[in-house]
Structure 1
Amino acid sequence: MSLVVTQREGAIPVQRWLVRVLGIVQGVGFRPFIHRLARRHSLAGSVLNYAGGVDIEIEGPEAALEAFVADLQAERPPIALIESLATEPLSATGHPEFRILPSRDGESGPILVSPDVAICADCERELADPADRRHRHPFINCTNCGPRYTIIRAMPYDRPNTSMAAFPMCDRCRVEYGDIDDRRFHAQPVACPQCGPTLAYREPAAAGEAALAAAVEALRAGKILAVKGLGGFHLACDATNETAVRLLRERKGREQKPFALMAPSLEAIRTFCEVPDYALGLLQGAQKPICLLPKNGTEAFSDSPGGPGESENASVPFFGVAPSIAPDSACFGVMLPHTPLHRLLLEQGGFTALVMTSGNLSDEPLATDNGEAFRRLGHIADGFLFHDREILVGCDDSVVRPTGAGTIMMRRARGYAPFPVRLPHAQL
């Protein structure tokens, strides 16, 4: 992909700079952003990934180069993070094009991989639009959202180095991938119903929309499902069904520890939780972690006969969800759907909430591989909703406690990992 910049006779003398950017700058739409920025400022040059970051060469008048660098930092893609930016002068070449070059191998350096990113608002709109070709596609994504860390085999971040290498792009996806004005320009996980991945269900065997319908039917019937997410499998059941929740506790070997909930909307969460304003950004942001939020009417809940979670009729949910979800806690751990598959499952089923707990026995690792999940979770789950996109790096849900003074990180995983935590002291 290249754009041609025409140099006029008598124009202001040009300079050429190397701009080296380190941080989370791969898998976040950074090269397309740089290409568009160069076009805006009428600059020639190139951009490429290498193992440690992104190298940009820009050529044009000095004022335009300075404006480019300023805009690069001020307008970076929403999920990019710039750790450092350095410039150095180069000899001008006079070449009129700006190009995205193939990634450069053979170099090493600090490598920051993008975390997985929850489905964005644009993809949510397309998912719900009957006129869109990705309507109800459970793997819709773009440069601003979708799997990253969990599908990467090696750096630099290019499709052949991810588990999406198993799914050759169809002609229409390839056109989008190569169109600088498209939201999926150089989006490595780009996919559609024609080129995959594919959703499946067992047992009985079903695929595509039939798989989703079978999963919804099973959940409505009080069954326990293993659902393949971004970084591993969840064990799911209808959060309003006390019998199903108790059965999941028995099979998973988790007697008292609270289960996490996934709800379709803020409105649904508010039926059983208090949602303070300072929690909204976490619930709705790019990470969508599990947020520990106070139960509605906590005092009434705690004063019920026998203590929290006990009642005269245990089959009647408290505040719309089963009492045994978090029997000894004043909080529920809740999250909104972070993948299109989870969103479709909740909305099609009309569920107030689903239990979404880690796909493992208590104290065992998270199941990530399909075959592994069938073997390890077969005695827990009544059915499996899964797909054929390989999870290369397992990653559990993050857990946070929002407070008015800031966020307390309880478990730092999906949406945050593997980005490092910077400590507030000098480097040694």
Structure 2
Amino acid sequence: MSETTVGARPDLAGFPTARDPRCPFDPPAEYTELRAQEGTASLSCPVGVEARVVSRYDDVRAMLSNPQLSSHAAPSTHVVAGGQLDRPVSPGSLLHMDGPDHARLRRLLTPEFTVKRIQAMRPYIQRLVDDHVDALLAQTGPVDLVSEFALPIPSLVICELLGVDYADRDRFQRQTAVLIATNSDPAALEQANLEVVGFMTQLVLGKLAAPGDDLLGRLIVRARESGQELSVEELVTLGITLLIAGHETTANMIGLSTLALLRQPDQLEALRADPGLAGTAVDEMLRYLSIVQFGVLRQATGDVTVGDETVKAGEWLVAVLSAGNRDESVFPDPDRIDLRREATAHLAFGYGIHQCLGQQLARVELQEVFARLHQRIPTLRLAVPFEEVEFKDDALVYGVKALPVTWDRAGEDAR
């Protein structure tokens, strides 16, 4: 690894993280200005380094597919004041690995996320969504859609996939919230990390002793049969990565996209009238919301070209996914939701070798939510003024902290 570029010039503008509270679904307005400038601007990041901010769609794709741009630092460490950029990469840390080590792990995991395997899970996911809609309809008074619907569905799915006891969900959800916050107390962060590692270590040791028909069990068997047996540390790190990514991102998308659609009644009515619109609707909302809100960090391992500029070895770059997804040269009228837009080329899942392995699973979960929730509860609406909804401005994954909703009991749509 090339020597890290440490520090930032005091005259540099800061990396934009603040959204306009009047437009909480839009990324910081500075990204639009950065796309309009020539070249890539260098900004000062909260972690204490200077980084080039890549905000145009084509440049983001080129950056994320360049093998000379390393992901060894945590993907969004640039926005964490006091964060560490050069700590050793743990075995099994898929998001932070490059080259052959990364390719080996990804090859072992890929069979678990094929379209065929994920489609086989669709009936299970459909039942989960319907069961949770039933549970909502059985309640009276305002209900928090996050805690009662958005969180439990992806949590159940990832528990089923990994072979985790669903009774442990509250435990790992609390730990995850601390781990992905940008302002967690260092002591709390360390404690959450210790707890989640301990939890996953116990799970992995059990799977190693008796591999079951779940993702971790099949992964253990596949690795053994291929002569690439995985260590306990690799399995623990992979398990934590999948557990966190598998429920946190989808849960936030369910809550945030529901709120965004409630604010766009014409688009919501189109979805209610045609549940088949869920396919394009999911990708459009992924593009529009881009919940990995601060982008991903990379470091140049050699001199590379980004756009028309040369980036020197050791320099840092940030690919801002939300900015690329609002690039008007690729997505006309990008600040508008259009559920009929063919937006499958969006960047919400990243791009290149680190593109999200679980993207097909996330799509199926969201498609079933989109196709069922609003048809069965057609009068769903906010139970509080919009201004009272709290957003996760201090988390790496954007969303809402709670979403109180209600509906007309006479408008219930029986299954």
With structure 2 as the length reference, what TM-score do the two structures score? 0.27
Q: RCO (CA 8 Å, sep 6+): is it higher in 1 or 2?
A: 2
- The structure carrying a bigger helix percent of its residues is 2
With structure 1 as the length reference, what TM-score do the two structures score? 0.27
- The structure carrying a bigger strand percent of its residues is 1
Structure having the higher Rg: 1
